[in-house]
Amino acid sequence: MLWHRKRPEPAAEHDRIEPAALPLAFDDELFRRHMTTLLEASQVDGGIAAYLESLHAKQRLVGELLEADALDALDEAHLEKLLGAVFTARRKLFPVLVETGAAATAAALRELLYGAAPLAGRMSAFVAALPIRDGDGREARARAARLRRAAHDLAAEALHFLDPVRYPLMTRWVWDEATMSGALREFVRGADQTSRLPLEARPETFEAARRWMAGEVEAQGVYRDVPFWVDLVQAAAYAHYFRAMTGGVLGSDFTRASGPGGEREEVARHRTRAAGRKVAGGQGVSNPRSVASEAMPIHEKTLVDPNLLLQTDKLVVDGVDVSGHWNTMILPRTMTDYDPDFYKTIQALPGGENVHRCWQCGSCTNSCTMYAINTDFNPRYWIYLTNLGFKSELVKDKDIIWQCVSCNKCTNICPKDVRPEGVMKALAHWLETEGTRRNPGPRSSTRNSRASASSAAASRTPR
């Protein structure tokens, strides 16, 4: 049984999603682990009841705005209110929806939510109805692709929160077939050892996964609000996955969610975002007008000049005290010492042929045997420097790059077939040919480092 309260009015009576036969087995022990993490994380925000009430509030809001009769009155203010209640990335769509116009947006939403065409086709048609143009240049095309993905996720959230029983949550953070990433990966035993899972991102797959999780929730003695419990456990799993995948990107550089309780706090933050609430403060929703214009660059630790860091003893934003770690402001600086064609040099060396494919997901660093014992060993970061052409920054790590033990975990898990292990060898080769020789230190230190790496590799290999 998925719902114990009064069931919401159905959106489209013909949308009866038959679950697909799952091509792999989900692990009940992993599910219980994520559910336990969720329960622990809920204490940050006042208990699991507060989480459930947030989702119910979101459902009520979506119902008020998107019920069939309400769509006739949809205007720009309603769109702003709707986008304020969804996951942050979808709020970037506000300028697109304004350009579309309230009437055209309402028509597209009506067809999505109440149309007669197959569900997957209606979701695709909603994305196609928005004026998202590719434009000229790689960055313009990438921005258009991001907006289309955000539009797809907006459609998925609109369906789910209009009728949580009929429609599973089909957003990309639950499962993205194109990138082989998302919460569902965290319920598969040994998924960290393979780059591909045979899961298709179609409604029948999401429903099959949701049915399995609903059974696991009920096995724990929970029978109320099961669809939202499933959402919350998936959010906990995704927070675990996201933190693991960005560990090489943010973990060693900024330690934003590191230390005791860091994962529980990250789960709470992701659950709060998924419910459409502010991460800080926990009340109301953010303004999509401001989110749409935000620029949030990631600054690498070694590319930041310490003299340009500004800190204040006290910083309060919108009535919320964000003093401490979060009040570090970084002024931009211009980097001129780079070679934009340097990646071609590495491509010409054995092992570096695919370095240009990297999209900085961090999977290589997260799975790296050496990173487990030395967080300065960061393949993701060095590939990033290679593609930017910052040779001088690579030279700074000449005494570390050569330490790769060729366990090939990074190569096995890489979703873009970059072959990071080969890139490490190519970089070491380039350093040698440039006359930049490493300083390995005492021979005993080298032996101990490799012995520790072998021990770490053994301890991280699933049995």
What tens digit of pLDDT does each residue of 3-14 get? 444 444 444 456
Q: What is the pLDDT of residues 34-76, one digit of tens each?
A: 999 889 888 877 788 988 998 999 999 999 999 998 999 999 8
Mean pLDDT for 243-247 is 48
Please list the residues that pair with 321 across neighbouring strands.
316
Q: What is the pLDDT of residues 273-295, one digit of tens each?
A: 555 554 444 444 455 544 443 43
Mean pLDDT for 19-36 is 93
Written as six digits, the tokens of 63 are: 């119902």
Note the pLDDT of residue 47. Answer: 85
* pLDDT at residue 328 tops 80: no
What percentage of the chain exceeds 70 in pLDDT? 70
Torsion of CA 325, 326, 331, 337, to 10 degrees: 60
Q: Which residues, including other chains, have CB under 8 Å from residue 400's CB and lie 6 or more apart?
A: 374, 376, 377
Mean pLDDT for 122-147 is 89
pLDDT range class, residue 25, cuts 50, 70, 90: very high
Note the pLDDT of residue 291. Answer: 45
Q: In this predicted structure, which of 16-20, 119-123, 178-182, 376-380 has the lowest mean pLDDT?
A: 178-182
Give the β-pairing of 309-310 and 316-317: unpaired
Three-state SS at 321? strand
pLDDT range class, residue 330, cuts 50, 70, 90: low
Written as six digits, the tokens of 460 are: 């991280």
> Residue 395 CA to chain centroid, in angstroms?
31
Written as six digits, the tokens of 8 are: 């919401």
Mean pLDDT for 366-377 is 88
Q: What is the pLDDT of residues 66-117, one digit of tens each?
A: 999 899 999 988 988 888 887 666 668 888 999 999 999 999 999 999 999 9
pLDDT range class, residue 138, cuts 50, 70, 90: confident
Name the nearest CA neighbour of 86 among 151, 25, 37, 41: 151
Q: Could you tell me if 42 and 51 are in contact, meaning their C-beta atoms sit under 8 angstroms apart?
A: yes
**What values do phi and psi take at 73, rounded to 5?**
-100, 10
Q: Which residues, including other chains, have CB under 8 Å from residue 345's CB and lie 6 or more apart?
A: 430
Note the pLDDT of residue 88. Answer: 61
Mean pLDDT for 129-137 is 88
Note the pLDDT of residue 239. Answer: 79
Note the pLDDT of residue 447. Answer: 38
Written as six digits, the tokens of 458 are: 């053994």
Q: Could you tell me if 20 and 203 are in contact, meaning their C-beta atoms sit under 8 angstroms apart?
A: no
pLDDT range class, residue 272, cuts 50, 70, 90: low
* pLDDT at residue 163 tops 70: yes
Note the pLDDT of residue 310. Answer: 58
Q: Is the dihedral of CA 378, 383, 384, 390 positive or negative?
A: positive
Half-sphere exposure of 311 (CA within 13 A, CB side): 9
Q: Could you tell me if 120 and 202 are in contact, meaning their C-beta atoms sit under 8 angstroms apart?
A: yes
Q: How many CB atoms lie within 10 A of CB 230?
A: 23
The overall average pLDDT reported for the chain is 78
* pLDDT at residue 303 tops 70: no
Mean pLDDT for 406-435 is 92
Mean pLDDT for 118-123 is 94
Name the nearest CA neighbour of 405 among 361, 365, 454: 454
Asked whether the whole model's pTM tops 0.75, one would answer no
By the 10 Å C-beta count (0-12 exposed, 13-18 middle, 19+ buried), 53 is classed as middle
Mean pLDDT for 156-163 is 94
Q: Which residue has the higher pLDDT, 298 or 157?
A: 157
Q: What's the one-letter identity of residue 279?
A: V
Q: How many CB atoms lie within 10 A of CB 308?
A: 11
pLDDT range class, residue 426, cuts 50, 70, 90: very high
Place of tokens 């060898």: 425
Q: In this predicted structure, which of 158-167, 176-185, 307-316, 383-392 has the lowest mean pLDDT?
A: 307-316
Written as six digits, the tokens of 393 are: 């920054």
Q: Could you tell me if 373 and 352 are in contact, meaning their C-beta atoms sit under 8 angstroms apart?
A: no
Note the pLDDT of residue 100. Answer: 93
pLDDT range class, residue 373, cuts 50, 70, 90: confident
Note the pLDDT of residue 51. Answer: 87
pLDDT range class, residue 243, cuts 50, 70, 90: low
